[in-house]
Amino acid sequence: MNLITLEAFYVIVGIVLLLVAGRIAADAAHPKRWGSALFWALLAVTFLFGRAIPPVVTGYLVLAMVVLAAAKQVGRSSGAPGSSPAERTAHEERLRHRLLWPALLIPATAVAGTLLLARVHFGSVRLIEASQAALISLSLGALFALGLGLWLTKAPVGTPLAEGSRLLQTIGWALILPQLLAALGGIFAQAGVGEVIAGLLAAALPMHAAFVAVLAYCGTMALFTMIMGNAFAAFAVATGGIGLPFIVQRHGGNPAIMAAIGMLSGYCGTLLTPMAANFNIVPALLLELKDRYAVIKAQAPVAVVIFIANLLLMYFCVYRF
């Protein structure tokens, strides 16, 4: 039994999202008033009652959100940002380094909480579940920082909500893309998509050549990661289908070297794919970039260089050590 679970923070997120929906519904000047309000309200429902309502109902709620987004009914409020540069500079001159305290409190709480909270228990009752320590600590950090920020700036409680709502609308419907992609990854895994590709590759390539086995494995890791948006999901398929049978069993390669460098080849794929939306698409929107794919474009040369280096590293090391 755990005293604090992630579910409590999901409820807080649900309330925040509901307030965002409420602000939009109350904003007569919002260009996509009702579609946007409905979108955020539906998302709020999945956070507030996700565990309670049957998955098929959640599924249709998600489908409704997708239809709203695809029909261009989800938009940002037309209003200008809540502050002018002059105002911000004036505040900055007053607050100076104190502005950094809340921003630094988030990672500080996250680190301290991750290290300490999971160890706290009262008899058989634990404070938190160890596997959730990082997320709970980060969430606590955000809440503490909010408290500290409000105290330092003397801003009304409505300000963080207004600013948060503005930032969330900047991200817009893409906020749910990572969750949706994770769901797609699950469906791909269930249908055995990876196994089909691995099987095709293994049959088509001349695996008796040691270098081809390395190329096929690293390439599969990167390719699957690009398709699934997640190197962890690709690892089992690529390693089971190509890595173990060919590099380890056929050519006697070192499994530790293969796995380590193989996983990092997968990460090169992560840098290249819109399917890893939480790393590549959401940040582009969060940084207010015009091109949704700008982050991927900035990363592409790095990813290619690292991938080639991985290929050579694995080829020269995996059969030697």
Partner 1 sequence: MQRLDVPHVFRCHIPPKMIKLIGVLVIAVGFGLRLNPLLVVVAAGIATGLSAGLPFHEIIAQFGRLFVENRYMTLPVVLIVPVIGLLERHGLQEHAERFIRNSRLATAGRVLLLYMAVRQIFIALGVKIGGHAEVVRPLIAPMAEGAARARYGALPDQTVQTIRAHAAAAENAGNFFGEDIFIAVGAVLLMKGFFDAAGVNVGVWPMALWGIPTALVAFAAMGWRCHRLDRRVARETAAANRPRGKGAS
Site for partner 1 in 186-205 (CB under 8 A): 186-193, 195-200, 202
11's CB contacts (< 8 A; 6+ apart) are: 47, 48
Q: Is 2 in the site for partner 1 (CB under 8 A)?
A: no
Site mask for partner 1 (CB under 8 A), range 249-288, x = bound: -----xxxx-xxx-xx--x--xx--xx-xxxxxxxx-xxx
Residue span binding partner 1 (CB under 8 A) among the ranges 28-36, 89-97, 119-127, 212-220:
89-97
When the beta carbons of 30 and 296 are compared against partner 1, the nearer one is: 296
Q: Is 208 in the site for partner 1 (CB under 8 A)?
A: no
CB 51 within 8 A of CB 38: no
Q: Is 305 in the site for partner 1 (CB under 8 A)?
A: yes
Cα dist from 12 to 9, 44, 45, whole Å: 5, 10, 12
Residue span binding partner 1 (CB under 8 A) among the ranges 26-34, 119-127, 142-150, 205-213:
142-150
* Tokens at 36, concatenated: 């946007």
Which residue type is seen at 253? G
CA 90 to chain centre: 35
Q: Give SS3 for 53.
A: coil
* Tokens at 261, concatenated: 């460098």
Residue span binding partner 1 (CB under 8 A) among the ranges 28-36, 58-66, 119-127, 211-219:
58-66
Q: Is 320 in the site for partner 1 (CB under 8 A)?
A: no
Q: How far apart are CA 254 and CA 307, in angstroms?
A: 19
* Tokens at 29, concatenated: 């000047």
70, 116, 125, 209: which one contacts partner 1 (CB under 8 A)?
70
Q: Is 9 in the site for partner 1 (CB under 8 A)?
A: yes
219's CB contacts (< 8 A; 6+ apart) are: 265
3, 8, 26, 57: which one contacts partner 1 (CB under 8 A)?
57
Tell me the sheet residues that pair with 121. Answer: 126
* Tokens at 124, concatenated: 């058989």
29, 80, 96, 123: which one contacts partner 1 (CB under 8 A)?
96
By CB under 8 A, the residues from 105 to 124 that bind partner 1 are: 106-107, 110-111, 114
Q: Is 311 in the site for partner 1 (CB under 8 A)?
A: no
Tell me the sheet residues that pair with 2. Answer: 126
